[in-house]
Amino acid sequence: MGIFSSLAAKGNNVLATRAEEDVFEALAKTNKFPKARYEREARAIVLEQKRLTASKMVLPIVTAGTADLPVAAEAKVTAEIMGQRTELICDVGVAGLHRLLGHTAKLQKANVIIVVAGMEGALASVVGGLVSCPVIAVPTSVGYGASFEGLSALLTMLNSCAAGVAVVNIDNGFSAAVTATLINKKIEMEQ
Amino acid sequence: MGIFSSLAAKGNNVLATRAEEDVFEALAKTNKFPKARYEREARAIVLEQKRLTASKMVLPIVTAGTADLPVAAEAKVTAEIMGQRTELICDVGVAGLHRLLGHTAKLQKANVIIVVAGMEGALASVVGGLVSCPVIAVPTSVGYGASFEGLSALLTMLNSCAAGVAVVNIDNGFSAAVTATLINKKIEMEQ
Amino acid sequence: MGIFSSLAAKGNNVLATRAEEDVFEALAKTNKFPKARYEREARAIVLEQKRLTASKMVLPIVTAGTADLPVAAEAKVTAEIMGQRTELICDVGVAGLHRLLGHTAKLQKANVIIVVAGMEGALASVVGGLVSCPVIAVPTSVGYGASFEGLSALLTMLNSCAAGVAVVNIDNGFSAAVTATLINKKIEMEQ
Amino acid sequence: MGIFSSLAAKGNNVLATRAEEDVFEALAKTNKFPKARYEREARAIVLEQKRLTASKMVLPIVTAGTADLPVAAEAKVTAEIMGQRTELICDVGVAGLHRLLGHTAKLQKANVIIVVAGMEGALASVVGGLVSCPVIAVPTSVGYGASFEGLSALLTMLNSCAAGVAVVNIDNGFSAAVTATLINKKIEMEQ
Amino acid sequence: MGIFSSLAAKGNNVLATRAEEDVFEALAKTNKFPKARYEREARAIVLEQKRLTASKMVLPIVTAGTADLPVAAEAKVTAEIMGQRTELICDVGVAGLHRLLGHTAKLQKANVIIVVAGMEGALASVVGGLVSCPVIAVPTSVGYGASFEGLSALLTMLNSCAAGVAVVNIDNGFSAAVTATLINKKIEMEQ
Amino acid sequence: MGIFSSLAAKGNNVLATRAEEDVFEALAKTNKFPKARYEREARAIVLEQKRLTASKMVLPIVTAGTADLPVAAEAKVTAEIMGQRTELICDVGVAGLHRLLGHTAKLQKANVIIVVAGMEGALASVVGGLVSCPVIAVPTSVGYGASFEGLSALLTMLNSCAAGVAVVNIDNGFSAAVTATLINKKIEMEQ
Amino acid sequence: MGIFSSLAAKGNNVLATRAEEDVFEALAKTNKFPKARYEREARAIVLEQKRLTASKMVLPIVTAGTADLPVAAEAKVTAEIMGQRTELICDVGVAGLHRLLGHTAKLQKANVIIVVAGMEGALASVVGGLVSCPVIAVPTSVGYGASFEGLSALLTMLNSCAAGVAVVNIDNGFSAAVTATLINKKIEMEQ
Amino acid sequence: MGIFSSLAAKGNNVLATRAEEDVFEALAKTNKFPKARYEREARAIVLEQKRLTASKMVLPIVTAGTADLPVAAEAKVTAEIMGQRTELICDVGVAGLHRLLGHTAKLQKANVIIVVAGMEGALASVVGGLVSCPVIAVPTSVGYGASFEGLSALLTMLNSCAAGVAVVNIDNGFSAAVTATLINKKIEMEQ
């Protein structure tokens, strides 16, 4: 919280991920940063103090199941605090392909896509096969038994038969968002 | 080879899997079983001595990539020596969904399907989502690095988000074929 | 619970697995689905609204020890909500073979069998050797130390020397039941 | 070979396990130990120079499949060079229980039993359940895929639900034989 | 508790391991088995109803550190309820060899020894090298970090360079005691 | 080789990775594709038939040690056949920081960087901390012992404390190059 | 606490690591050791009864991030109770090299350095490359997902490409401090 | 070999580890470095061109078994080319404690000790308990089955209950020697 305060005091936009709600409440009680808000699903404290230029392109964040939402939400708030416009495409796991295929056009327009999936993590390969932009894949620890806390999804994504898929740590929505944002910013910077 | 000979001498159909070609050649030189043949891709010696009633339904054996063919071939010769009619649907990995989707009708007619895939093994989940029959999934050791000799595909298949997918050992085309054949025989026995 | 309600509102039979009792109690307080009941051992909420045609054949669910019962119970409620008649054969682990062998006749009549076992998981191989129908094996996380949360039983079942054994995820009674039911329905559909 | 020679020179019985045949041939060429013989299956060089008092009880060495024979043979030559009478009971894997059950009486008379099994290694539990003497279990690296070079059989045996089963290293027929012999000698010493 | 009661009702000696104290208290409140007692360190409920003939030989149970005592205590109550006289030799880990060596004479007289050790589990090899009787080794989950919940000690013991060491599951004092007792009973039976 | 030929016959640029030299020699003997060449270090067959527009930006491919060169070379030929200009920056492992720091300016100009490292794989984090563009990290199987065939480098890279690092499969120079090229093309397309 | 008391009673300096605060409070209530103090971050009880000669050289304890502080603090109190002067250099992880490089001169003067790092653990290699004294590396369990409770940092450190790096158990600040102190004492003893 | 030549050309002492004999022979044929020699057991090419001041203290290198000698030999040539006097103490594994204990006085005089052991790797703990100097432990890949290519010995050494033991990579005699030499040099530098 010390780090948060010192960054915030300089007028920056600040993001604290993996923060429990009671940390936010303690911060709120100080009344120092009335614009700070708590994003419950993402478990993040967000403080927007500077207005950001919104990105031109929308960054799609695709999830396999509803249980993957907290990780997707972390990716979303991270990308947004860095200026990205995002769209969450939920619950389009590979066992119901039609739901995913309905979003094909939208996905094919993106500069870069974040795919969030636990259990068998097959969604990254399928999305990777549908588009020609890079895919940043986030395995999640959703699952049980032989998912081994996200190992299954991690290995799946690393072995993706679709080229152009790169992977971040299990449940690391933050790092996926930073990587995707860096890519998108480089692209839009050139325009 | 002793086991092969003693089974063959009783007039049975005999299958020896995981047999190198030189074993077959040694057998061939004995001239005892002139009808024995070597299936190179499947690495199997096959001896059909009894005519089998062919199954009514075709058993689809679906593979993700050409490198998975030896395991698929083992499944095929195993199922056939047990009387199944089979159809090999090759190279329909999830990175090129359209190729797989072109076979949807055929897959939806089957009583049971064998899916053979290495690397990320996502094909089992996708097929499982397209059909309402049981899927017997065979992870293969195809891949390198983080495929860990088939572990990646194995975990993927065990964590399949599509219900109705059951898994056999890595590279075990034989066991998948036996399981699928047992299912199909039970079904056709009832007719 | 939203998903449960929306499925239930359409008059379907609904099953929610891995649901804690307080979720059921919250549901019960709404008084919307008075026919919903909580299956404590299976940790499942069950709502039967449509009468199902009962299957002709009984689906045996065989467990190695009493500690495996919750997973077996999940398989049982799942199969029953899909119309299967089931029989739970409990505590017939391989260290006391006579108990298992007393059920041989019953097992040999089945179309398909579910075997639920933790620790060393040897029961699947032994049952597989006694019958000629497919066996769906469910490793459980029962055990400690070198059972590594079900890994031991999982590997045992994947390496079964009995052909015709296929495996689902650790503790996944649901998926075993769906697979077994799909098989049995295909068979009875043909009659 | 230096160690072998120096032990042999003292008139001891000597056993060299995990020795390739060419090592034996080199030894044979020296003509120093004409009574030394090579046990091919066990991959062992054996030199009996002292007559041993044979044990009263027979030590049963039970194997699941023919592929386990080399490890069983190592156990056999080790036990014999230490004076044990042994009996090899082969190919009685759990998928064909009747073959094993035919040996029940013999097993129940033993002071201690060695069980050698790869793949799923379930034989140790089943034998352990049939007898009331200690069982020394040797997992073997027989198998492929998810047998992970003997890990599957090792975990199975460590998790045995039958009490009285203790385990040695994968493929370590030697250590099993030493342990079993120590037990048997203690017993017969008391008589 | 049902199992406990039914065994106890027959007048047997009964042992319930891995039982929390509240289970014992519930049992005690029933007043059915006033002789039942709770062994806190071993986490076991013990009911001795039949007088046992005490074994002639003492069974040494050797532990590396004080943290291994609960597992050693489980072994001790198990062996005692089966009639063994035991002696606990504590805190003689290999980092202080002199403490262990002070017990050498005692250890060399035993018929069989139980060694209980966590962390690096080296004690089993060292004891095995000092004696010529079988050693039953119990790895414990004592340790942290790279002990991986007992895996380190388990692997150490399986790889023991001292012959005659056999291993049971992590923390399984019960199984070690049963194995050691079976050995000792066989020996004393012969006298 | 069939796939290579059919792609080549259409006048495409074709790349076959993980191809041994004898495969190339067989291809060369057919005289069909005289422009095909073999890149020994990369173990790739390359056939450039169409002239590509060279990328404006140079893609740096950074390696920790000389043993990582084959994987870096695979990345290099892959990126080049897709039109990228590349620069190989070799042997700048973290144990000699000054060598790496000498390239800082060059790295900070890039749109995207490929980092190839085995053993402890720390280079990806260090490069990631020096730049503000995305880093595609390739763990290699270089190392021995506890490198576990690349697992060590893989885990290191996934846990990178520098944001903006995404990872591909062990030794997968191909996939890293495709991902980096997709990013760079998106960027230059916008210009 | 018995061990603590008996050591303390002899007038020794005593250190109890991995002690929760309530243990200290119980000790404090006894009023026996009024000079005992609780080091909260290190989770250690410290009792200095004998004045120590302070070491001439300062022992640097370097940490990658603030989350590694508890392990660094354990190393610090351990080294200090053994007479070492220490300096904690915090939060100099490899993603921000300039912070680390600012301490180069200080590090190059040391006799031995302790490096504490979790996540990817790359700091040990980088420090090892900057100095010519031995580095004792402590992996920590800081991280999540593919850090696998410290395994990632452990493997990184074992595979360090900088020579002169030796590693202790995950989170084992105590052992690192003992090793470093032994080294430093040997050096200063010679002076 | 290029690196070797360029270092050698400057008149340095050069050591190339993990070099097969044919590499040395190729080097020898060039006649450029007639003083270069091949150390077969260590698999190292050694070129001493500068006379080194021999260390005052002897560095003991202790091995558990003869199979560990190649790694010990690598440590020995490495330490010697850096000026250390060394003494190899062989085959003093913990299963025969008296052999080790006979060297106690010698070990207690050392500044630092290298311990090389495979299989269960217990030697490091036992030596660590006998001395008060730092111990650098090298796990080796000697063993089979559950030694998992050195993992067993590695974990044992990391979990050593003796303080003052630090560990290097599996089979890494080189790094152990560098670390031990750095320690010893610091000590003797002070004299």
Q: What is the pLDDT of residues G82-108, one digit of tens each?
A: 999 999 999 999 988 999 999 999 999
Distance CA B64, CA B61 (A): 10
Distance CA B124, CA B166 (A): 9
Interface-testing mutation among C144, C147, C149, C151, with chain E (most E C-beta atoms within 10 A)? C144
DSSP at A1: -
HSE toward the beta carbon, residue C146, CA cutoff 13 A: 32
Residues belonging to chain F with any Cβ–Cβ distance to chain B shorter than 8 Å = 3, 139, 141, 149-151, 154, 169-172
Kindly provide the residue ranges of all beta strands, DSSP E only, lying in B48-178, ordered along the sequence: 58-63, 85-89, 113-117, 135-139, 165-167
With an 8 Å CB cutoff and a minimum of 3 pairs, decide whether chains C and B touch: yes
Partners of C149 on chain A (C-beta within 8 Å) are: 145
Q: Which residues of H101-135 are buried (b: 16+ CB within 10 A; e: fewer)?
A: eebeeebeebbbbbbbbbbbbbbbbbbbbbbebbb
Q: Which helix (H) or strand (E) holds C106?
A: helix C104-109
3-state percent breakdown (helix, strand, coil) of chain B, nearest 5: 45, 20, 35
Average confidence (pLDDT) over B154-159: 96
pLDDT digits (tens, 9 = 90+) for E133-181: 999 999 999 999 999 999 999 999 999 988 899 999 999 999 999 999 9
Measured in angstroms, the CA of D168 and the nearest CA of chain B are apart by 25
C130 burial type by CB count under 10 A (0-12 exposed, 13-18 middle, 19+ buried): buried
HSE toward the beta carbon, residue C74, CA cutoff 13 A: 22
Q: Locate tokens 């491919």: which residue?
A: F61
Take residue A167 and report the two structure tokens written for it: 């992977």
D105 burial type by CB count under 10 A (0-12 exposed, 13-18 middle, 19+ buried): exposed
pLDDT of residue D104: 96
Q: Minimal Cα distance from D151: which residue of E?
A: E155
Name, of A12-16, A63-67, G58-62, H24-28, the range with top average pLDDT: G58-62
At E51, is the secondary structure helix, strand, or coil? Answer: coil
Average confidence (pLDDT) over A86-103: 94
Cβ atoms of B159 and A67 closer than 8 Å:
no
- pLDDT of residue E125 exceeding 70, the answer is yes
Distance CA G2, CA B130 (A): 66
At F190, the pLDDT band (50, 70, 90 cuts) reads: low
Measured in angstroms, the CA of G104 and the nearest CA of chain E are apart by 30
- Determine the distance from the C-alpha atom of residue B139 to the mean position of all C-alpha atoms in its chain, rounded to a whole number: 11
pLDDT mean across residues, chain H? 93
The mean-pLDDT minimum among B3-12, E36-45, F112-121, G139-148 falls in: B3-12
Partners of D169 on chain H (C-beta within 8 Å) are: 144-147
Average confidence (pLDDT) over E115-123: 94
| Sign for the pseudo-dihedral over CA of B29, B34, B39, B42 | negative
* Chain E to chain G Cβ contacts (< 8 Å): 19
Nearest residue, CB atoms, C94 vs list D64, D126, D157: D126
pLDDT of residue E166: 97
pLDDT digits (tens, 9 = 90+) for E51-98: 888 899 999 999 999 999 999 999 999 999 999 999 999 999 998 899
Measured in angstroms, the CA of B152 and the nearest CA of chain A are apart by 5
pLDDT of residue C169: 97
At H49, is the secondary structure helix, strand, or coil? Answer: coil
Cβ atoms of A183 and F165 closer than 8 Å:
no
pLDDT digits (tens, 9 = 90+) for B71-103: 999 999 999 999 999 999 999 999 889 999 999
A20 burial type by CB count under 10 A (0-12 exposed, 13-18 middle, 19+ buried): exposed
Interface-testing mutation among F91, F92, F125, F170, with chain G (most G C-beta atoms within 10 A)? F125
* Chain B to chain D Cβ contacts (< 8 Å): 19
pLDDT of residue F51: 84
Looking at chain G, the whole-number percentage of residues with pLDDT higher than 90 is: 82
Average confidence (pLDDT) over G10-33: 91
Measured in angstroms, the CA of E81 and the nearest CA of chain G are apart by 30
Take residue E38 and report the two structure tokens written for it: 């709770």
pLDDT digits (tens, 9 = 90+) for A110-162: 999 999 999 989 999 999 999 999 999 999 999 999 999 999 999 999 999 88
Range list of H helices, chain F: 2-9, 21-29, 69-81, 97-101, 104-109, 123-130, 151-158, 173-189
Take residue F56 and report the two structure tokens written for it: 């404006």
- pLDDT of residue F105 exceeding 90, the answer is yes
Query: What residues contact residue G46 under an 8 Å CB cut-off, 6+ apart?
Result: G14, G15, G36, G37, G38, G39, G77, G81
| Sign for the pseudo-dihedral over CA of C123, C124, C130, C135 | positive
Interface-testing mutation among C140, C170, C175, C189, with chain B (most B C-beta atoms within 10 A)? C175
Q: Is the model more confident about B95 or about D1?
A: B95
DSSP at G40: T
Chains in contact with A via at least 3 Cβ–Cβ pairs below 8 Å: B, C, F, G
Query: What residues contact residue G159 under an 8 Å CB cut-off, 6+ apart?
Result: F119, F120, F121, F143, F145, F146, F147, F152, F153, H169
Average confidence (pLDDT) over C137-152: 95
- pLDDT of residue G146 exceeding 80, the answer is yes
pLDDT of residue H5: 84
ipTM > 0.90 for the complex: yes
